[in-house]
């Protein structure tokens, strides 16, 4: 295998020797190679993990199409072709958490996207084999090659989840549809109430958290746990940006008790306004980042890059649930969206 320098990942081309029979491979088969490209993750400069990881998107490709045709792929273990995490917006309805299976037709394509799925939670079997057969243009013989990946769990899986499904014009490889959805919803919620398709801040974020939890379940990361402001956390595990230059204030969450003051029997909108006020205080208090390093900072609209974002919003969602013990006080959930 050709050694790959760290800075060249995630675009990774792996070359493997091929064989056509039990005996020595003809020269034509030697050219059969598998291209393997990571589609959803580029190492944060401060991180050392290289993967591959559960939940990481790969495109596998027949790397010698001029020499081979009629590819046929075999995958060891469960895999899916893709997933859809979109929430309904002013442009299109959401459909809940959706996955697309790897079909027999997909396995006959020269290139396709895939995610390997663990067989248990947490994953116990970590190795996955990819086998390719293709017919040589030169000799007409069927050649075969294969490779294996050893997958691990990412220590901050939100960094993978938020880097999928980038817009074709997006140049930031760590920005995907999850971040793209977060900004416009907040914009519409704040400035254009008539355009937002969901009844509230809390309702929309419940759906948003639900998608991430579905992703975690799909790829063996277990249940998300809430973070209550004031509790300690490990910045290296919970935040996308760390270090003194990013203005980390890990004890700032302790101001929660001073800002979370709600009347004894508020109307829902008053309750939600108090939640949002406290929410903003925590986001702005935990971390301050100066330009140009604001992407992924906890105070910004790209804060879903941090694990802490999801755990914090799950805590807010539990406050929402407690308040809505009387369902007549709260907006209804969308049963389709929550699938």
Q: Domains plus CATH for the chain?
A: 6-150 (no CATH), 158-329 (1.10.1280.10)
- Closest alpha carbon to 144 in 47, 18, 233: 18
- Per-residue pLDDT, averaged over 260-264, amounts to 63
Q: Where are the alpha helices (DSSP H) in the chain?
A: 27-30, 158-161, 177-191, 201-218, 235-238, 256-259, 268-286, 307-323
Contacts (Cβ under 8 Å, ≥6 apart) of 61: 34, 35, 36, 37, 110, 111
pLDDT tens, position by position, 11-57: 333 344 444 444 455 578 999 999 999 888 766 666 677 779 999 99
pLDDT at 213 over 50: yes
State how far the Cα of 280 lies from the Cα of 186, in Å rounded to an integer: 12
Separation of first and last alpha carbons in the chain? 43
Q: Determine which of 65-69, 303-307, 325-329 has the lowest per-residue pLDDT on average.
A: 325-329
User: How confident is the model over 148-171, as pLDDT tens digits?
Assistant: 999 989 999 999 999 999 888 888
**Cβ-based burial of 122 (10 A; exposed 0-12, middle 13-18, buried ≥19):** exposed
What kind and span of H or E run contains 328? none
């Amino acid at each position: 295998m050709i050694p790959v320098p760290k800075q060249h990942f995630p675009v990774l081309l792996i070359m493997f020797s091929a064989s056509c029979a039990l005996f020595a491979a003809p020269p034509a088969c030697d050219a059969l190679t598998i291209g393997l490209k990571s589609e959803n993750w580029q190492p944060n400069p401060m991180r050392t993990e290289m993967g591959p990881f559960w939940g990481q998107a790969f495109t596998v490709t027949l790397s010698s199409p001029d020499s081979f045709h009629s590819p046929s792929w075999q995958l060891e273990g469960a895999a899916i072709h893709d997933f859809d995490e979109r929430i309904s917006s002013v442009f299109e309805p959401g459909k809940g958490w959706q996955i697309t299976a790897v079909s027999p037709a997909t396995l006959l394509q020269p290139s396709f996207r895939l995610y390997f799925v663990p067989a248990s939670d947490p994953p116990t079997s970590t190795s996955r084999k990819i086998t390719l057969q293709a017919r040589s243009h030169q000799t007409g013989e069927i050649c075969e090659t294969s490779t294996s990946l050893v997958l691990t769990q990412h220590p901050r899986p939100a960094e993978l989840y938020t880097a999928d499904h980038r817009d074709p014009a997006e140049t930031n490889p760590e920005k995907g549809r999850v971040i793209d959805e977060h900004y416009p919803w907040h914009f519409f919620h704040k400035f254009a109430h008539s355009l937002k398709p969901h009844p509230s801040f809390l309702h929309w974020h419940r759906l948003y958290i639900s998608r991430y939890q579905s992703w975690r379940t799909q790829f063996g990361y277990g249940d998300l746990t809430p973070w209550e402001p004031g509790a300690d956390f490990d910045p290296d595990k919970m935040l996308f940006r760390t270090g003194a230059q990013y203005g980390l204030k890990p004890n700032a969450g302790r101001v929660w008790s001073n800002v979370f003051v709600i009347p004894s029997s508020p109307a829902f909108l008053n309750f939600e306004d108090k939640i949002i006020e406290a929410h903003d205080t925590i986001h702005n208090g935990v971390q301050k980042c100066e330009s140009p390093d604001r992407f992924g900072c906890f105070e910004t609209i790209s804060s879903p890059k941090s694990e802490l974002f999801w755990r914090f919003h799950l805590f807010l969602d539990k406050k929402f649930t407690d308040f809505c013990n009387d369902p007549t006080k709260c907006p209804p959930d969308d049963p389709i969206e929550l699938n």
